[in-house]
Structure 1
Amino acid sequence: MNLALLKTYAEEVETELDELLQWWITYTIDEENGGFYGKIDNDNISTPHAPKGLVLTTRILYTFSSAYQLTKKAAYLSMANRAFDYLTKHFLDTKNGGFYWSITYTGELLDGKKQIYGQAFTVYALAEYYKITANTKALALAKGTFTLMEKYSFDPLYFGYLEAFSVDWKLKEDLRLSDKDQNEQKSMNTHLHVVEAYANLYTIWPDETLKIVINRLLTNFKEHIIDQKTSHLHLFFTAKWEVKSTVTSFGHDIEAAWLLQEAAESIEDEAEIAIFKTIALQLSDATKKGLDKNGGLWYEYDTTTKHWVKEMHWWPQAEAMVGFFNAFQLSGDEKYLHHSLQSWAFIKNYLKDKKNGEWYWGINEDYSLLQSEDKAGFWKCPYHNGRACLEIMKRIKLHGNHPV
């Protein structure tokens, strides 16, 4: 084992974390209207009147809370406080419970739907914020949102979670998370982030009912979401878990590899931990089919049409850094460390904006920049890349104390 290589990796991502978060501090704060700008382009120019989304706000809250927990830098706590205050003042539905999907640039209600994906990220972020502040309101809101999700979204007949509800928690006809998604009652993506959120909540609130729910979610993945033959994730389902998609999302495969293992570890279920360690390696191996010769990870592949979406977006590369490093920790096989390092090298070479900061959204097959995409926006947040840096830093520190 080349410990010097790991030391360099950790130092580089620590520097990257500082640069990323400083970019968000410098360019995203909306001093005039509060919160954070809803859209910033590749030249760091904001669109002051762009709507502000729940996902952006909660991911800022999560990332800066997590970064403060590790680094204790006061500027990160300040950003986390700002995100929490804005979230609870403008996104919280005090009448119906839960959190609105989007608001105007001035903080007025724009879309009040209760997208379960968004509720999950709120729970995830509030739990992380509680870890650094012991803010009782944050804990109460996280627990309350969990209760609402279980009351309205949980399917007691077939298990799992339905996708989207109106402002007053009536099931919507249009369940899609975004325009590119299928209008189906259940999705892999929502379930992945629900179990991620619940696992984080359990670390601060070890409630027995919550533990049962996490176990049930892990069973959903084992029985319905992970393809037993290919070890890829199915993406969309009917309420009865009938598969309605033929697309492979490599970024989600590698993200799920380590997040599901982490969820099993959070509830200290030894049997599930053993199962999901094996699954983590299976998902990591399946992900390798999407790797480019230069270490980048392609976006999607349709198994029916044989069509590749040969774009390389920022977030699958960030998740590959963590997922492959996790596989290296599990197996001791340095081929996985190589893939993690290749992902990081790819990011540095092709996605990191060395002039204006942060990472580009992505590149095309010919390595040209994807046009008309945000540097920060409704979906482009510091969560994937910031968390990847934090995870690698923590894992290498642990690795140094407990060599494989």
Structure 2
Amino acid sequence: MEVRAVLAAWRERLGRELDAAIDFWTRHSHDLEHGGFFSCLGRDGALYDDVKYVWLQGRQVWVYARLYRTVPRFHRPDLLEAARAGGEFLLRCARVGPGSPKVAFALTRDGRPAKVQRTIYSECFCALGLDELGRAAGEPRYRREAQALLEAVVRWVREDPTELGCPVLAGTTPHEPLAVPMMLLCVAEQLGDGAKGQLGELEAWCTRRLLSHLQRDGSAVLENVSPDGMELPGCLGRQQNPGHAIEAGWFLLRYAQRQGDLALAARAIEGFMVQPFRAGWDPEHGGLFSFQDVEGLCPPQLEWSMKLWWPHAEAMVAFLMAYAHSRQPSLLHLFLQVAEYTFQRFRDPEHGEWFGYLARDGSVALTIKGGPFKGCFHVPRALYLCEEILERLLQEL
């Protein structure tokens, strides 16, 4: 089958799957009484818990607003209004207290703070969603709130982390998780829209920090490194997360493309995509492991051998983006490898959307469609981005 026919077939397949995913969330997740979205949904969309997770609220606002703004068939008033309702819920309820830049991790259905995490991720996803909502709705107030959140996060990460509430204990090993510069690079791209200036400096800083996780002469992406970019001893230092490495890879590739840096693009593809994918792919059952140990020891995470939805969604984006950049057939083959596995194993043709959690052999371990970590984000974002890339490729062929 010629390349154009393969790309066209996948464009149609991904488009239908994106429609089904959005249909699932619009039918089942909207809270018309209090605003915002439910994420704790069973296989058929039935609600099993009404806790609302702030980072998933921001993510769903981003998905709806981005689709409304950029994809003609989703330019629907109901989608924008749902995004606006989610954004207003965040503005009204997300912060843990008046004047505090910290936002909650979990809220009650009516928006009362129920849990706080000492991390930056809830704030980052609020910023993503509110900025995109401001663009889609043409209302600068949402984008101003997003900018304030980013400024707080940058202060916590680069200057003073005390507002996060994490005491520095005598025995704590200072370290930087890959997710911190990766998340900041994502938010900086969103808010800065690829522009130079203050956010351009932040993007460059994030890029340097991400590259420090590429260790062992470029053969391994380590999840945690020391603050000065060195490998750490013990399980903390040996930990690998193939999904994070691959997702960071396409963030880096996009940055390299904006900068016109072909050498960085090559490092992003080979170091952060190809090598982690080949090392993380299960040779016996297929699919990506959740965690690995760089020395081949047994990882301590109980779910290390499970196959989770989001690394596979991110790998689809990464390899299609890398193929569009370089036109190397091997990268298209990697996209097809992971896409076929993903559609075969995670997709639910009966009720729509994807299962999130598989056992090592690829059987469904949890039938839920959402929870504290899975919501309306990785699946629709990946499908949207892949469809967009395929449209461009088909126009160029």
Q: TM-score, normalised by structure 1?
A: 0.86
Instruction: Map residues 315-326 of structure 1 onto 2, 5 A cutoff.
Output: 315-326=310-321
Question: How many Å separate the matches in 1 of 2:189 and 2:363?
Answer: 38
Mapped contact 1:37–1:47 kept (Cα < 8 A): no
Alignment of 1:125-274 (within 5 A): 125-155=129-159, 169=163, 171-173=165-167, 185-203=175-193, 206=195, 208-222=197-211, 224-242=212-230, 243=232, 244-265=236-257, 268-271=258-261, 274=263
Distance of 1:171 and 1:277 partners within structure 2: 39
User: How many aligned residue pairs are there?
Assistant: 380
Partner of 2:268: 279
For 1:288, the equivalent position in structure 2 comes to 278
Q: Distance in 2 between matches of 1:5 and 1:295?
A: 22
Q: In structure 1, how many angstroms separate the alpha carbons of the residues matched to 2:279 and 2:294?
A: 12
Question: What's the secondary structure of 1:110's corresponding residue?
Answer: strand
Letter in 2 for 1:11: E
CA separation of 1:238 and 1:171: change in aligned 2, threshold 3 A: farther
State the AA in 2 paired with 1:85. Answer: E
- Could you tell which deviates more after superposition, 113-122 or 290-299? 290-299
Q: Note closer, same or farther for the CA distance 1:183–1:21 as it changes in structure 2 (3 Å cut).
A: farther
Matched residues in 1 for 2:238 and 2:200: separation? 32
- By how many angstroms is 1:316 displaced? 0.9
CA distance in 2, matches of 1:369, 1:82: 33
Any unmatched runs of 5+ in structure 1?
A: 157-161, 176-181
The question of 1:366 aligning with 2:354 is answered: no
Contact 2:150/2:187 (8 A) holds in 1: no
Aligned residue number for residue 384 of structure 2: 390
Distance in 2 between the 1:235 and 1:193 partners? 13
The answer (yes or no) to whether the contact 1:91–1:100 under 8 Å persists in 2 is yes
Counterpart Cα distance in 2 of 1:13 and 1:274: 31
Provide the secondary structure at the position in 1 that maps to 2:292. strand
Deviations 1:231-259 (A, max 9, x none): 43221244444534212211112111111
- Structure 2 residue 381 is matched with structure 1 residue 377: no
Superimposed CA distance per residue, residues 88-115 of structure 1 (whole angstroms, 9 cap, x where no aligned partner):
1111354122432221122112234562
Cα deviation per residue 1:65-109 (whole Å; 9 max; x = unaligned)? 121123242132232122111111111354122432221122112
8 A Cα contact 2:118 2:165, kept in partner: no
Q: What is residue 178 of structure 1 aligned with on the other side?
A: none
Query: Cα offset for 1:355?
Result: 1.8
**1:315-340 CA deviation, whole Å, 9 max, x = no partner?**
11101111111221233222221221
Q: Specify the SS of the correspondent of 2:109.
A: coil
Aligned pair in 2 of structure 1 residues 191, 295: CA closer, same or farther (>3 Å)? same
AA in 2 matched with 1:263: Y
CA shift for structure 1 position 303: 2.3
Check conservation: 2:39, 2:375, Cα contact below 8 A: no
8 Å CA contact 1:20, 1:357 repeated in 2: yes
Give the direction of change, closer, same or farther, for the CA distance of 1:138–1:67 in structure 2 (3 Å limit).
Answer: same
CA distance in 2, matches of 1:207, 1:112: 34
Tell me the TM-score normalized by structure 2.
0.87
> 213-222 or 112-121, which moves further after superposition?
112-121
Residue 291 of structure 1: CA displacement? 2.1
Give the Å deviation of 1:358.
1.1
- Counterpart of 1:301? 292
Residues 131 and 46 of structure 1: CA distance in aligned 2, closer, same or farther (over 3 Å): same
Distance 1:38 1:396, change over 3 A: closer
Task: Give the whole-Å Cα distance in 1 for the aligned partners of 2:138 and 2:220.
Answer: 38
Q: Give the letter for the 1:312 counterpart.
A: K
Cα distance in 1 for partners of 2:57, 2:280 equals 31
Residue 71 (structure 2) pairs with residue 76 (structure 1): no
Kept in 2, the 8 Å contact 1:17–1:386? The answer is yes
Change in Cα spacing, 1:174 to 1:276, as seen in structure 2 (3 Å) is farther
Between 287-296 and 66-75, the greater mean CA deviation after superposition: 287-296
Between 322-331 and 303-312, the greater mean CA deviation after superposition: 303-312
Going from structure 1 to structure 2, the CA distance change for 1:32 and 1:142 (only over 3 Å counts) comes to closer
Q: Are residues 1:45 and 2:46 paired?
A: yes
Contact persistence 1:296–1:343 (CA under 8 A): yes
Q: Distance in 1 between matches of 2:16 and 2:288?
A: 23
CA gap of 1:291–1:111, structure 2 versus 1, over 3 A, is same
Instruction: Write the distance in 1 (CA, Å) between the matches of 2:98 and 2:11.
Output: 43
Supply the RMSD in Å over aligned alpha carbons.
2.5
Kindly indicate whether residue 308 of structure 2 is the aligned counterpart of residue 313 of structure 1. yes
Gaps of 5+ in 2: none
Paired with 2:81 and 2:9, the residues of 1 have a C-alpha distance of: 29
Decide whether the 8 Å contact of 1:19 with 1:358 is kept in 2: yes
